Chains A and B, each alone.
Chain A
Amino acid sequence: MSRRDYLLRKLGFSLMTVLIVLVINFVLFRILPGDPVRAVIGRNVRISPQVQQALRVQFGLDKPVFPDQFIDTLGQWAQGNLGISWSQRQPVANILIAKLGNTLLLIGLGQILSIFFGVILGLLAGWKRKTPIDVGALTFSLIAWATPTFWLGIILLAAGSTWLGLPTGGIVSPANVSKPLYTVIPDVARHLALPTLTLTILYLGEYMLIMRSSILEVLNEDYILTAKAKGMSHWQVLMRHALKNAMLPVVTLIALNLGFTVSGAIYIEAVFSYDGLGKLFQDALTKQDYPLLQGAFLLLAVSVILANMLADILYTYLDPRVKAN
């Protein structure tokens, strides 16, 4: 299969998946009990039957659900119109955009740190196979896998706030709320420390495992033997030849893990009252704010799918074997 065919297939698959997400979102919204007009304008607004009928026509709700209403809705979503939040009485899209940056900051920090430490630990574990370092690293990842994210968060929250005096939630102290984030970096860092630590511990295990098995595989390759035969030291072989090739599966894992990353962020933001998409999601759940819930789901799902596709494309550029085919 040529590279172009491969990319087209990936693109096709991603578009299909996005379409399925759109259908799920549409169907879920429609099977909710009650009048869709109510769903659009909110539950507690009093309006006369005539106005309701007028609204029904205006929103196209007098037309058949499929295909007319479905296509209408898709058009709305495509224009970034995700409806009005019931609880905040603002356009859902505006609320989501306001929180997106905070979540990206948290996830980004967690990912960078866990990839960095995961790669180093995995490299060490694979290199010093079956030594206490290796066994310790594997045991750690097993236990991390079996530990609920939010519970680890609660423990670190309790420990960090009691013994280190770290803040228990939020992104900035109340005094700094109105200042731009970059002017109060030390304060923000103190708030980010615990959530980032939780995410890093959580993600670390899998990067370490994949790096470990990947480095073991690479060390068996002929070109490693050649490099050793040329008289290169262990360290040179590891850095110049093994590391670069062993990193490839890590790149794939970043993409595969995105869904998992998003789940982690939802739990962590709930525990640390971190003002991002995850906490928004939980607030929408408790307030039964469906437009907000569905908007958040749409945004998260579509971004994960598209990021996966981008990672696939990136991979074809990184791996010369894929390029050659």
Chain B
Amino acid sequence: MHNLTEFWRTFRRNKLGLLGGFLILTALLAAIFAPLLTPYHPTDVIRDANGIGMTFAPPSAHGPLGTDDAGRDVWSELVYGARISLTVGFLAGFIAMFVGSLFGITAGYFGGWIDNLLMRVTDVLLVIPDLPLMLVLVATLRQMQLNVSPLVIIILVIGLLYWTSTARLIRSQVLTIKERQFVARARAIGAGNAHIVRKHILPQIMPLIVANTVLTISTAILVESGLAFLGLGDPTKPSWGTMLNFAFDRNAVTNGAWWFYLPPGLAIVWVSLGCVLLGNVLEEMLNPRLTAHHLEGDENMISIVAGQRFD
């Protein structure tokens, strides 16, 4: 992209966009450098002077975030949990982006009955309640003894269900781009469909796809945490949602162990808020006329919040 510097110059001035980027980046760094940031392995049991496991030890007794019901270090679990939550969120987001772009480009570019069919498919997916559908799908797939990790099933199910908004967005963009002069010219000199899509349409919509993927990732992370909370995560590879499932099932609330159930939720809010901020700012910058996203009204709400709170 030749105007990347120009893009960065505009982006740099957007405080909320920067905040979003910062939130995502810190979480990514924590996930990558987890062993350097944590004094314990997440499965290590912390013991007191007498060698007895310290269960539900508050942060004052064992820092910085105390221990869980089995005496494990909550801070270490939290940092290692970032690896699982982010991996699932990003992979599911990428799958959704791929499927959504494929559907959106195909529907928008070819139009006619193909468009009609693909759009009806997205309509059907939109109207079926997603959580019950996911629960039934995940439960059935797990029962089938496919010899894959529960995380793989979750990634696939989220990725293959949450592409509809991307598809609609991309489709509407492709519809306007394909009417432009340069596409007509390319066709006139005999360019094929594949060539036109690759050389003329994809480069135009790529930035928008990136922005939308960031938003989809936040949805994927939230959905994963929910499925994991309902007990569908991988107990051997605990994500933040799985941690909350453990915390809730093992009575962290009645034991007053706030250090066990607050941090994982805050981490989820941290990352998903980061994605929502960054995604919306990018979408607004890359496509000022856009009104398709549900967070927007007469103008992008992010810019109003940004304008008032930070400038």
Task: List residues of A whose CB falls within 8 A of some B CB.
Answer: 13-14, 16-17, 20-21, 24-25, 28, 31-33, 130, 132, 134-135, 138-139, 141-143, 145-151, 154-155, 157-158, 161-162, 168, 206, 209-210, 212-214, 216-217, 258-260, 262-263, 266-267, 270-271, 281-282, 285-286, 288, 290, 293-294, 296-297, 300-301, 304-305, 308
Residues of B with Cβ closer than 8 Å to A?
120, 123-124, 126-133, 135-137, 139-140, 143-145, 218, 222, 225-226, 229-232, 241, 244, 247-248, 253-254, 256, 258, 261-262, 264-265, 268-269, 272-273, 276-277, 294-298, 301-302, 304-305, 307-309
- Contact of A148 with B295 at beta-carbon distance under 8 Å, contacts A134-B304, A266-B132, A300-B132 already known: no
List B contacts of A141 (CB < 8 A): 301
B276 touches A130 (CB 8 A): no
Q: How far is the CA of A24 from the CA of B135 in the complex (A)?
A: 13
- Known contacts A130-B307, A145-B276, A293-B135; 6 additional CB pairs below 8 A are A142-B295, A209-B294, A267-B226, A288-B139, A301-B128, A305-B127
A257–chain B nearest beta-carbon distance, Å? 10
Determine if A285 and B297 form an interchain contact, defined as CB atoms under 8 angstroms apart.
Answer: no
19 examples of A-B residue contacts, CB within 8 angstroms: A17-B127, A32-B140, A134-B308, A146-B273, A147-B265, A147-B268, A147-B269, A148-B268, A154-B247, A154-B253, A158-B261, A206-B294, A213-B297, A262-B131, A262-B132, A266-B230, A270-B230, A290-B140, A304-B127
Q: Which of B136, B244, B247 contacts A297 (CB 8 A)?
A: B136
Partner of A150 from the list B123, B129, B144, B226 (CB cut-off 8 Å) is: B226
Q: Provided the pairs A17-B124, A150-B226 are in contact, do residues A142 and B301 lie with their beta carbons within 8 angstroms?
A: yes
In the complex, what distance in Å separates the CA atom of A50 from the CA atom of B96? 49
A305 to B225, CA, bound (A): 26
B133→A293 contact, CB < 8 A: no
CB distance from A126 to the nearest CB of B (A): 8
A212 touches B226 (CB 8 A): no
* Separation of A177 and B140 alpha carbons in the complex (Å): 35
Task: Please name all residues of chain B whose beta carbon is closer than 8 Å to the beta carbon of A216 when the two chains form the complex.
Answer: 297-298
